[in-house]
Amino acid sequence: MGDSGNQYVSDLISVFNEYGFSWAYHAYRESHVWDAERSNFDRNDKSVLDATPSKEILISAFKSK
């Protein structure tokens, strides 16, 4: 996903919240591409990480609800 993917998710959440849309992060562990606990810069890294940029975006968004 990388930085552009992180920005994409962050932008979507902002728009959804601005317009009062309901949303969910349904692909949380469905695919390594969208898994917020895995590196989104190294697709071959299969380790589960405590902190990632995408996970921080999601945690922050859920806390603001």
DSSP codes of every residue in 10-50 = HHHHHHHHHTT-----TTTTT-TTT-TTS-SS-TT-----S
CB 27 within 8 A of CB 34: yes
Question: What pLDDT, in 10s, does the model give residues 8-63?
Answer: 999 999 999 999 999 988 776 777 778 889 887 888 888 888 999 989 999 999 99
Note the pLDDT of residue 3. Answer: 85
Provide the pLDDT confidence category of residue 65 given band limits of 50, 70 and 90: low
Provide the pLDDT confidence category of residue 1 given band limits of 50, 70 and 90: low
